[in-house]
Chain A
Amino acid sequence: KNEVEQSPQNLTAQEGEFITINCSYSVGISALHWLQQHPGGGIVSLFMLSSGKKKHGRLIATINIQEKHSSLHITASHPRDSAVYICAVRSFLGPGTYKYIFGTGTRLKVLA
């Protein structure tokens, strides 16, 4: 079992729909990142969370530390939101050292 699990793996939505992508993790973390990757490889950081909720435009990210779960919501989805969304956690290896563990991503396609 992967230490970071995302669901769903693939998602097709109609323009305007509300979208939720989930991320569960099994390790202790100091931060969780939501990333967006477009075809061609470039990755953009959307959110970094250690608690609570953040909002940026039509994107909302929440995290529940006790339940080891985070969600990324997209309101009023648009075809330009089509991309792979990746959850990544920062986990401590030892004093002053840590590693990042990535989910396999959720491939989102929004149809016009």
Chain B
Amino acid sequence: ETGVTQSPTHLIKTRGQQVTLRCSSQSGHNTVSWYQQALGQGPQFIFQYYREEENGRGNFPPRFSGLQFPNYSSELNVNALELDDSALYLCASSFRGDTGELFFGEGSRLTVL
């Protein structure tokens, strides 16, 4: 049990719709990062937030956006959903530092039809 919770655990959307995924970080952690994991693949880094500011981003288009709130919880928003967005979305929390250990949630599995 990492203390990182994600919601919803599963959801189904159709192409063109928008989705919001949520992540509550472990107590004391000020950094949240988001990952996309397609079936049979390793996770891909989407972006990271530290103290409500984005401070790192992978190769994802602008329709992937995020927020971090003062309590360090976070949201991932995806607009104009495409079929290829179907994946497991993972968030991880950590404490900012040069080598912060990552604590992952169980993920939100998104299916786009």
Contact = CB atoms under 8 A, between A and B. Distances in A.
Interface of A: 30-31, 33, 35, 40-45, 48, 50, 86, 88, 90, 93, 96-105
B60 to A, nearest CB: 11
B65 to A, nearest CB: 17
A43 B42 contact: no
B56 A88 contact: no
Interface stretch (B17-25, B66-74, B100-108): B100-108
User: Size class of B's contact patch?
Assistant: 20 to 34
B109 A33 contact: no
B56 A41 contact: no
B33 A100 contact: yes
Interface of B: 2, 33, 35, 37, 41-45, 48, 55-58, 88, 90, 92, 98-104, 106-107, 109
A104 B58 CA distance: 16
A61 to B, nearest CB: 13
> Which 3 pairs show the lowest CB-CB distances between chains A and B?
A43-B104, A102-B42, A31-B99
Contacts of A40: 106
B107 A41 contact: yes
Contacts of A31: 98-99
Contacts of B41: 104
A11 B55 CA distance: 36
A98 B56 contact: yes
A43 to B, nearest CB: 4
A45 B104 contact: yes
Contact of A104 (B33, B42, B104): B42
Contacts of A101: 45
